[in-house]
Every structure is written in structure tokens, then in C-alpha cells.
Amino acid sequence: MRVDAVTLFPAMIDSPLSESIVGRAREEGFLELGFLNPRDFTEDRHRTVDDKPYGGGTGMVMMAEPVYRALKKVRKKNSFVILLTPKGRRFDQPLALELAKKKHLIFICGHYEGIDERVTPLADMELSIGDYVLTGGEPAAVAVIDAVTRLIPGVLKKEDATVNETFTGGLLEAPHYTRPGVWRGEKVPEALLSGNHKLIAEWRSTQARELTGKARPDLPAGGQAKKPARGKKKI
């Protein structure tokens, strides 16, 4: 997959996506990541990319022309352009799966008070990662690219790694445990130590539904059963 980001601050995306699984995906050729800085598409000696908003108000607004020129240079017939904005569609796992099938994604990252509204029609999708304010679209782009990249076939070495995990089927994932079997008086559930694959699968299914019903009843497949609240452990 090819991903390009139109951004004033490429390092805010490049640096975090150079580590861990996504970093390896880039090294192994599963993901090609490029950047276009609107400042490189200006004509004045100050490389101006923002100006005061019409009608007054605080902050500065990114100008349409530099963003348009950057997008025009990188956009191709198979490109899918995403404008990161609070008024966009809410990002979720089903959408990540949908975007993972694209050949070329382009992210437009606003900054300051945002981008001139006349840029909006240039995008194929407006996208939001949640109801909160960020310094710009760059952190949102990192989250989306990370979620999408791990779904590209071959990126995760185990083929079923993305099948039984959080949000698959509208459920949270069942709790995980590792060694030691007893940690500070807390034991690993007996079902996971049984070696009985059917019993383990049933336990995980039940736990996933109970956890979803308790923590995220808003999810499509939230279970009805809820486990009794447990007191928090003192540290």
C-alpha cells in the first residue's frame, strides 16, 4: 500500500510510524509512506501557508492553494483522499478493514484553526478519530495509518492475528494472561490452564461478551451479562 500525507509537520507522522510493526512493514515493503509539505508549493519568499480568517476570530487558517497544489501532484486515478476533520465520519475497525483494501491513501492534515473550507470537496472522505481537539491532523493520521497497516496481508506474521481481537464482531477481546500462574495472589483462570481448546474458546467467548456488556454496551454485539464490579487493587 502507498500512503501519502499532505502535512506541514512530516516528522509528527514519520517518527512514530518508524517503530514497531509499522516500521517493519515499511522496511519490508508492505507500506510506502510519503509526505508533501504545502510550504513547498508556495510562491512567495516567506513560503506562506496560512492567513487570518475572514470574519475575524483567533488563530490562523491554512490556505487552500498550497494544499490543492500538493494534492494535485500526488493524486492518481486509484487514490483515495481523506480529510481529517472533527466533522468527519467516526473512525472504527470496520472502516479500517475497508481502507486496508485501498491501493493508495492520501491524508490531508490540517493545523492551526484548520484548512480553508473550499478544500473539503477535494476529499473522498472526511474522517474523525473522536470528539476531542488535537493540535492538528497529524496525530489522527498516525492512528489511522497504524490501524490500517496492521490489516494489510503479510504485515502480521500470524494469518489469524486480526481475527479474534478487540472490535472484531463488535466485541471487546477477552482478557489475556501470561506467566507466572499466580501473581501477587491473583491466579490465572482455570479454564486457560486446562489445555481443553473447546473450554478455552467458550471461556473467551463468554468473557468477551461480559466485558463488552460492562465496559462498552454501546458496541453492536455488547453482551447482556455483566460481571459484578470488583474493587480496585491497591498498589
Q: Do 17 and 112 fall into the same domain?
A: yes
Domain count, the chain: 2
Q: What is the pTM of this model?
A: 0.88
**Residue 206 belongs to a domain:** yes
Closest CA to 108 of 91, 89, 126: 126
Q: Do 18 and 134 fall into the same domain?
A: yes
DSSP label at 37?
Answer: -
CATH code at position 120: 3.40.1280.10
Per residue in 130-168, pLDDT (tens digit) is 999 999 999 999 999 999 999 999 999 876 666 556 676
Domain that holds residue 200: 168-215
Q: Do 180 and 144 fall into the same domain?
A: no
Per residue in 89-118, pLDDT (tens digit) is 999 999 999 999 999 999 999 999 999 999
Closest CA to 82 of 33, 38, 126: 126
Q: Do 29 and 89 fall into the same domain?
A: yes
Cell representation of residue 220: 453492536
CATH code at position 190: 1.10.1270.20
DSSP string covering 61-124, please? EE-HHHHHHHHHHH--TTEEEEEEEEEEEEP-HHHHHHHTT-SEEEEEE-BTT-B-GGGGGG-S
